[in-house]
Amino acid sequence: MEIKTRILLVSLFLSPILALQVEASTQICGASSIKSGQTLRVNGSGNILHSGPSSEAEKLINKKASEILKTTHYLTIDNTTTVLEECTQGDWSRVRVVEPDWLRTSHIGWVPSSALRRPARSKTGEVIFTEEDFIWDEETRPHKATLIAGVNKIHKENSRCKYIDPATAYMSSRGTKNNPVFFVTCGKGAQAFNVFFSEADLSPENRMSAAQHIDRTSAIDLCEGYAKQSATHPSTVRFSRIMDLGVTDHPNGRTTVLSSFSAKNSFNLELKHNIRCLLDSTGLIEATITEPSN
């Protein structure tokens, strides 16, 4: 009986709140609007957000950009953004940006529905990136087919690229005129990393799987080996494998080992050093040894 009473009280308390939320949503979208809830992509660039479902409605000002640049700039969305369509009214849609994250609270408004499109999908339901998802210029335009195929292949085969931004796809300085290399960014924030590819990587025989990390023990052994190799008296090196040790695997397949070691110098004095090693599955890439700051 007590439980039922509590449920009733909670229900009575929440009902007015839910009713207000529904009412607020209706007022924002309009009584004649149709609810949507679709996640959509954006066509082109420079699509200005309006305060209402009409080209005559007020254009929403980008306050931050306007303050910094000392001139009026409006809130816009383009094909680098993904939006949630909250509702439609006539030929207009009320949207809020869901990607990238930092635009979620600022970029909300009305745009012509023609500026939006559903993501393309394969027969199995996987997202497919199309020409409209990329940014093209004189450098990339001649390589459209390779870039589109490469980004889709990476998205499908690399387990760490479930979030991939096709708008970042571009030419890499690693390539040559006759054998260009491209890259695209996977992941978000501190977990973001670039994946490089060329036309040869698009062969069905070449899987663009996530790079494998080096074995943890091997990484520590190689870092310790570098410390000994760099010491004046290698036999005196005492490498910390517990207290100061830190091993981090990065999304791009590389691994960082941070630690410390002590060793005797040419004056037979034992000194402590910090060491940082960067490795991948093939071995040690680089290492840095520094003296601890006091």
Q: Could you report the per-residue pLDDT of 206-250, keeping only the tens digit for each?
A: 999 999 999 999 999 999 999 999 999 999 999 999 999 999 999
Interval 10-34: pLDDT, tens: 333 334 433 333 333 334 787 889 9
**Average pLDDT of span 174-194:** 94
Separation CA 238–CA 216 (nearest Å): 19
Residue 35, strand partner residues: 87
Is the residue at 239 inside a domain? yes
Specify the pTM.
Answer: 0.77
In a domain, 26, yes or no: no
pLDDT of residue 183: 98
In-domain check, residue 229: yes
Residue 210 domain-assigned (yes or no): no
Last residue of a domain, one of 85, 118, 151: 118
Quick check: 73 pLDDT over 60?
yes
Do residues 38 and 113 share a domain? yes
- The full DSSP string for 181-234 is EEEEEESSGGG-EEEEEEGGGGSTT---PPPPPPPHHHHHHHHHHHHHHHSSSG
* Residues 202-241: b if buried by 16+ CB within 10 A, e if exposed: eeeeeebebbebbeeeebbebbbbbbeeebeeeeebebbe
Residue 169 lies in a domain: yes
Measure the CA angle with vertex 12, ends 7 and 13; round to 5°: 95
pLDDT of residue 222: 98
As a whole number of angstroms, the distance between CA 99 and CA 221 comes to 42
Parent domain of 163: 121-202
Residue that the structure tokens 């950009």 belong to: 65
| Count of structural domains, the chain | 3
pLDDT, mean of residues 146-175: 96
Using 50, 70 and 90 to split pLDDT, how confident is the model at 293? confident
143 and 127 co-located in one domain: yes
